[in-house]
Every structure is written in C-alpha cells, then in structure tokens.
Amino acid sequence: MTLLLVIKLVHVIGAAVLLGTGAGIAFFMLMAHRTGDARLIAHTAGVVVVADTLFTATAVVLQPLTGLWLASLSGYGLAEFWILASLGLYAVTGLFWLPVVWIQLRLRALARQAADAGAPLPPAYHRLWRIWFACGFPAFAAVLAIFWLMIARPSAWPA
C-alpha cells in the first residue's frame, strides 16, 4: 500500500469518525434528555464527554494534518476552491463544537447535581440544552458540506 493510500485511508476514517461520533452523540443525548431522568442524563453526558475526548478530538486534530498531507501528495494547491471552502467549513464546525464541549460538561454537572439532590433538572440545564441542540444543526450541515466538497472537488460554486 502506498503512502498516499495510507494517508487517504486515515483521512477517510477520520471524517467518518467526525460524522459518526457527532451523529451518535446527538442521538444518545437526545434520547437521554427526552426521559427527563437526571441520573440517566448525567450518565449519558459523561459517556458523551469521554467519546468527544477520545474520538472527536483526535479526529479534529488529525483531519487537517492528513488533509494537508494528502493535498501535497496529490499535487493539489491549497488555494483550490474546494480545499479553501472545506477549511472554512471546518472552522465553522469548530466554532460550534468548542462551546458544545463546554456545554456537555455543564449539562453533566447540572444533571448530576439534580440526581444527587433528587431534584428536577434546573432551568440552567434546559437553557444550555437548547443551545447545545441548536449548535448541532450548523455543525452537522457543515460536516456534510465538507464531505460533498471532498467528493465533488468543485472548482467553484455551481451557478
């Protein structure tokens, strides 16, 4: 297997991890949230924080590195439209993901506090939940657009 194929494989796996982990985290957080059970929410949010740390953060670091390496090995210039657009969308995704990580930590803490006290989830939990949920849509759309750009490699936006 050539170096190009190895780097391409690592890059594709990283992209799949970003998309899959993001979708999985959103699904499990939504399902836990819908129960209203503070203990279940705290547990699920704890698992989500671990998954984001192990999988998402690793892929977030590797994606631009393998992408730049792939572009170099493949002879693409970094000024290619699809590469610049992908990098821009990657930055957009990061702008939504970074606050989400902090929010997940807060959701977990608030749910743990409620569970330990035998109390309902506080208003701060519900406010943060709505922000967390809303951040997912643009981030997920940006990742899907990056997938399209990587596959189609357009020279410019269609007319």
Give the pLDDT band of residue 1 (cuts 50, 70, 90).
confident
Q: Residue 77: left if φ>0, alpha if ψ -120 to 50, beta else—which one? A: beta
3-7 contacts: CB < 8 A, separation 24 or more?
3/73, 4/70, 4/73, 4/74, 7/66, 7/69, 7/70, 7/73
Q: Give the pLDDT mean for 19-24.
A: 95
| pLDDT over threshold 80, residue 157 | no
Mean pLDDT of the chain: 95
**Which of 55, 58, 28, 57 is CA-nearest to residue 44?**
28
- pLDDT at residue 129, as a whole number: 98
| pLDDT over threshold 70, residue 159 | no
Q: Write down the pTM of the prediction.
A: 0.89
| pLDDT over threshold 90, residue 158 | no
